[in-house]
Amino acid sequence: MTAPLPLLVLGKGRDLHTERGVECPGELPAASDPGLVERARAAKAALGDQVFVLGHHYQRDEVIEFADTTGDSFKLAREAAARPDAPYIVFCGVHFMAESADILTSDQQTVILPDLAAGCSMADMAAIAQVEDAWLDLQDAGVADVTVPVTYMNSSAAIKAFTGRHGGTICTSSNAKTALSWAFGERGDAQVAAGTGKVLFLPDQHLGRNTYVRDLGGRLDECVVFDPHRPMGGLTREQLRDARMILWRGHCSVHGRFSVEAVDAARREIPDVKVIVHPECRHEVVELADEVGSTEKIIKTIAAAPAGTSWVVGTELNLVRRLAQQFPEQRIAFLEKNVCYCSTMNRIDLPHLVWALESLVEGRVVNPIHVDPVVAGHARTALDQMLALPGETHKD
Ligand code: 13P
Ligand code: SF4
């Protein structure tokens, strides 16, 4: 019996289902209501320069169509900061991204998240009280003084503020290497520069581990995982003292599901296939991939590849489907058929976007995102540190 393909193959603007005829996981409903499309167009035209719509690459097609700019979380943070003249920023993404936009924009601007239920399961894996307790554990173990917090953008404003208060930086998947290099070597502390320093990486253990090992040449046995649900993170003082990377026990519920078996199957089934994955994937998967990068890097890599190249992509399905439609000259497959859309990214749909835009036309602001000013001040310190990282440009 032929082994079933674990891949959902996409291409030429349509879904090519697996040999077993498995349906697309999490298939979206039929195309958007044409009336809603018209209403979104009309509301946006009526608002003109009053509104700027940002769209993350994981958003639905029906929403991306109305984005003034699209990007990964780093690019969108910069775009938000670069729009001082737009009184309203409608953020089509998830809550932590909208919070960051609010922190980076002026008090005269309002950031709107069309559906407040658009959160992020990874960001929810680190609560501020847990992080404060963890820091006390590091103090208790005598290592807090030589530890720099490096916090992934996918975190609450409160944790970004914690990072700012402790001299750390925010990073995204496109600048994590630069951020870690800075934390280990360039922050200016004698101990950190002398190579005895540590990083507390929050909240995605996979991005932290992958960046440290793959990009900085660090060793896996220099990483420990801090479990906030166990006393002292489930670690001994010695383990904390010996570690260089203290990884928070958090992960992405979407990217954590891509498997080694799926990569192996892709290589068996598709001749000369190239595997490209997001660095939120597990280390074993990243180790097997040909390319690793942020959503922006994934798009740029596929766009620059010669026609006829075969790609298997390990990231969110909305983006992979769009890539398959935009580059029909490539063979583009989704890495794992059992992985579905990011359910929280998908909360932002056309009805919510229309509601947010039409409310603005009527003079009502729905779902504004306001970060507490004290929290925002400290979080801004950490975000500004990210934007000022040495040589920081948007490379990926
Ligand atoms: P990017 O930083 O690549 O945009 O990714 C954000 C994200 O949420 C990935 O799951
Ligand atoms: Fe969060 Fe994962 Fe969704 Fe990205 S894909 S927003 S990390 S749950």
Position 55 confidence tier, pLDDT thresholds 50, 70, 90? very high
What mean pLDDT do residues 329-336 have?
Answer: 94
The correct answer on CATH 3.40.50.10800 for the domain covering 255-334 is yes
Residues with CB under 6 A from ligand 2: 94, 120-122, 154, 252-255, 280, 316, 342, 344-345
Q: Which atom of ligand 1 lies at the shortest distance from residue 94's CA?
A: 8
391: left (phi over 0), alpha (psi -120 to 50) or beta: left
Residue located nearest, by CA, to atom 1 of ligand 2: 120
Residue 196's pLDDT is 67
362 CA to middle of ligand 1, Å?
A: 33
Q: Which atom of ligand 2 is nearest to the CA of 58?
A: 5
> What percent of the chain has pLDDT above 90?
80
Check residue 20 and give its pLDDT: 28
pLDDT value at residue 340: 83
Atom of ligand 2 nearest to the CA of 154: 7
How many C-beta neighbours within 10 Å does residue 127 have? 15
The residue whose CA is least distant from atom 7 of ligand 2 is 252
Q: What is the percent of the chain where pLDDT is above 70?
A: 88
Distance CA(215)–CA(373), nearest Å, equals 36
Residue of 167, 228, 227 lying closest to 198 (CA atoms): 167
Whether residue 120 is annotated as binding a ligand: the answer is: yes
Q: How far apart are CA 178 and CA 169, in angstroms?
A: 11
Give CA torsion, residues 119, 124, 129, 133, to 10 deg: -150
Mean pLDDT of 298-303: 96
Candidates 3.40.50.1470, 3.40.50.150, 3.30.1340.30, 3.40.50.10800; correct CATH number of 123-252? Answer: 3.40.50.10800
Question: Ligand 1 pocket test: which of 170, 173, 286, 383 has the largest number of ligand atoms within 8 Å of its C-beta?
Answer: 173
User: Which residue has its alpha carbon closest to ligand 2 atom 2?
Assistant: 252
CA of 392 to the centre of ligand 1 (A): 18
What is the mean predicted confidence (pLDDT) over 153-162? 98
Distance 229 CA to ligand 1 centre (A): 25
**What residue ranges line ligand 1, CB within 6 angstroms?**
72-73, 154, 172-173, 252, 278, 280, 294-295
Spacing, Cα 204 to ligand 2 middle (Å): 11
- Mean residue pLDDT of the chain comes to 89
Superfamily designation of domain 16-118+347-372: NadA-like (3.40.50.10800)
Where does CATH 3.40.50.10800 sit in the chain?
16-118+347-372, 123-252, 255-334
Cα–Cα distance for residue pair 126/189, rounded to 1 Å: 27
Could you say which DSSP state residue 23 is in? P
Please report the pLDDT score of residue 31 as a whole number.
Answer: 52
Q: How many CA atoms lie within 13 A of 155 on its CB side?
A: 32
Asked if omega into 84 is within 30° of 0 (cis), the reply is no
- Give me the torsion for CA of 323, 52, 172, 58, rounded to 10°: -30
Looking at residues 121-147, what average pLDDT do you find?
A: 97
For the chain, the distance separating the N- and C-terminal CA atoms, rounded to the nearest angstrom, is 43
Look at 335 and 9; give whichever has higher pLDDT. Answer: 335
Closest CA relative to residue 155, chosen from 218, 108, 200 = 200
Mean pLDDT over residues 368-376, rounded? 97
Q: What is the DSSP letter of 185?
A: I
Taking 90 as the threshold, does the pLDDT of residue 8 lie above it? no
Q: What is the DSSP string of 321-369?
A: HHHHHH-TTSEEEES-TT----TTGGG--HHHHHHHHHHHHTT---SEE
DSSP symbol at 177: H
The predicted structure's pLDDT at residue 23: 34
Residue 307, judged by CB atoms within 10 A of its CB (0-12, 13-18, 19+), counts as exposed
Task: Locate 11 and state its tokens.
Answer: 């291409």
